[in-house]
Amino acid sequence: MSSKVALVTGAQRGIGRAIALKAGALGYAVAVNYVEEREEAEAVADAIRSAGGTAMAVRGDLGDVASIEGMVAAVDSAWGRIDALVNNAGIFPRVPLLKMRESDWDPVLDINLKGSCFATIAAAKVMIRQGIAGSVVNMASSAIRGGPRAVHYAASKGGIVAMTRGMAVELAPHRIRVNAVAPGLTNTLQPRQGMSEDEVRERSAALPLGRMAEPEEIADAVAFLMGGAASMITGQTLHVNSGDYRP
């Protein structure tokens, strides 16, 4: 395989789908990860192939380390390399703090934080073995500032920011850069799982730039951090949120 390879987790819809399509357009062979929605993931891979690219759907449960390792091994077996990993997969089941149970907390931290950690470990080992100057992009969120019914989610995304910094230091000697993108309100299914359509419109109109982001705009930020234009950027979090959160 002569072209570069990108593995995008949670790539069957939303932001992950946009990232996978962007990576394909940039010439990466793309591994489209899913856990349950195989038909959606295959449709994304088909779209990349229809545009002249190379892609495959690959199953992997980001809440299970053995499944993560199997996913990375499948990509390595198919294409012999991984140049970029995008840890996009995540869940956000909204729960008020005083009603939160261990069964609410654990899956969010397992998939969003632990899954991103162990996917990075597995992919970095492939990059190091192949001598690849690779890139990892983790998905944080403007939710790190806190919000209602989101303590577990905010904790997982705050952990992503701190983890990104630590990973960047440890992997720099191997020429692997690690950064994060922190989206704000984005035009996907996620905000509609906790707000009505009217509330989504009101929130969008109140943003400094007057609208929420489109998934493709988040994908553009991820693509920048993946590529050579960001060759001296590591350990950073890039906020893409219409000016709503200005750390």
Single-letter code of the amino acid located at 83? D
Global pTM value: 0.96
- Among candidates 94, 93, 95, 75, which has minimal Cα distance to 85? 75
| Helix, strand, or coil (residue 58) | strand
Is-contact 55 49, C-beta < 8 A? yes
DSSP run (H or E) holding 239: strand 237-240
Quickly count helices (H) and strands (E) in the chain. Answer: 9, 7
Angle at 157 between CA 37 and CA 45, to 5 degrees: 25
Give the tens place of pLDDT for each residue, 84-115.
999 999 999 999 999 999 999 999 999 999 99
Q: What is the pLDDT of residue 189?
A: 81
Residues of the chain with pLDDT under 70: 1-2
**Pairs from 186-189 (Cβ < 8 Å, separation ≥ 24):** 186/14, 186/15, 186/212, 186/213, 186/214, 186/215, 186/218, 187/212, 187/213, 187/214, 187/215, 188/13, 188/14, 188/15, 188/215, 189/13, 189/14
CB atoms within 10 A of CB 16: 29
Measured CA to CA, the distance from residue 65 to residue 167 in angstroms comes to 18
Estimate the crossing angle of helix 14-25 against helix 215-226, to 10 degrees.
Answer: 50
186-219: per-residue pLDDT in tens?
999 888 887 889 999 999 999 999 999 999 999 9
- pLDDT of res. 2: 55
Is 153 a residue of the active site? yes
Catalytic residue among 28, 34, 153, 245: 153
